[in-house]
Structure 1
Amino acid sequence: MKNQFGNKIKYLRESNNLLQRQVAVLLEIDTPMLSKIERGERRAKKEQVLILAQLYNEEKEILLTLWLADQVYDLVKDEEIASYALKVTEDNLSTNKRNE
C-alpha cells in the first residue's frame, strides 16, 4: 500500500520534534487517529492537510498532491486498466484546463 502522505507527515512531525499527541490536538483528533493517518490506514481530511502544511511550514501543494495521489492510488490499485484510466483522466484534465 502506498502511503506517501502519511510517511511525509510523520517525517515532518519527527523533524520538528513533535509528539503525535501534540499534533493530534491541533487537528482536533485523537492520537490513535493520527497514528492511523501516518500509517496510511485512515485518510486525513483536506482541512487537516492544510493545517499540517501551515504547522510544518510546508507548501500546501506538496502535501495536497501526496494526499490526493494516495487517494487515487487506493481507488485504482486493483484495476488492470488503471494506468490507461489515469492517462485518460490526465488528458481530460489537460483539455479542461485549456478550455477554461
Structure 2
Amino acid sequence: MSRQKTSVMSVQKTFGEHLKSLREDQGSPLRKIAAELDIDQSTLSKIERGERLANCSQLPKIAEIFNVTEKSLKLILLSDQVASQIMEESNTHEILKVAEEKIKYHRAQK
C-alpha cells in the first residue's frame, strides 16, 4: 500500500520514528536500508532513535525506497527541527505566529 498522504499520526512521530516505522512495515533490515542510503548502519540507527538528524539531501532516496512523497518526509523532518528549537518555551504558539509573519514578509520582499 502506498503512503502518499501524511497522516496526523505520522506527523506526531519524530522523523526517526517515522523512518523506523516505514522500514519495519516494509520488513527491511537496518543494514539493507543503510546500504541503499550509502550510510553506516550505526548512523541510520541513530537517526531512527532521534540521536542524529537526517540530512535533507537524503530525502529523495528515502522517498523512493519507501514509496512516499519527499514533501511528507520534509514536513516531518523540518517540523522536528522547529519543535526542538522552541519546545521548552512557554509561548510556542506566539513564536510560531511571529515566525509565520516573518516568513510572509520576507517572501514578499523577494
TM-score normalised over the length of structure 1: 0.85
- Residues 14-67 of structure 1: per-residue CA shift (max 9 Å, x gap): 111111111111222111111110111110000112210111110111000000
Q: Give the 3-state SS of the residue equivalent to 1:35 in structure 2.
A: helix
The count of corresponding residues between Structure 1 and Structure 2 is 99
Tell me the equivalent position of 1:54.
64
Distance 1:67 1:4 in 2: 8
Identity of aligned residues (%): 34
Could you list the runs of 5+ residues in structure 2 that have no partner in the other structure?
A: 1-11
2:7 match: none
1:49 is aligned with what amino acid?
L
CA distance in 2 between counterparts of 1:99 and 1:85 reads: 21
The one of 15, 18, 26 equivalent to 1:16 is: 26
Deviation at 1:99, TM superposition (A): 6.1
Can you give the 5+ residue segments of structure 1 that lack an aligned partner in the other structure? none
In structure 2, distance between residues paired with 1:54 and 1:99 = 35
Counterpart for residue 74 of structure 2: 64
Deviation beyond 6 Å, 4+ runs, structure 1:
none
1:1-100 superposed matches below 5 A = 3-97=13-107
CA-atom RMSD, angstroms?
Answer: 1.8
Output the TM-score relative to the length of structure 2: 0.78
* Deviation at residue 75 of structure 1 after TM alignment: 1.0
Per-residue deviation, 1:8: 1.2
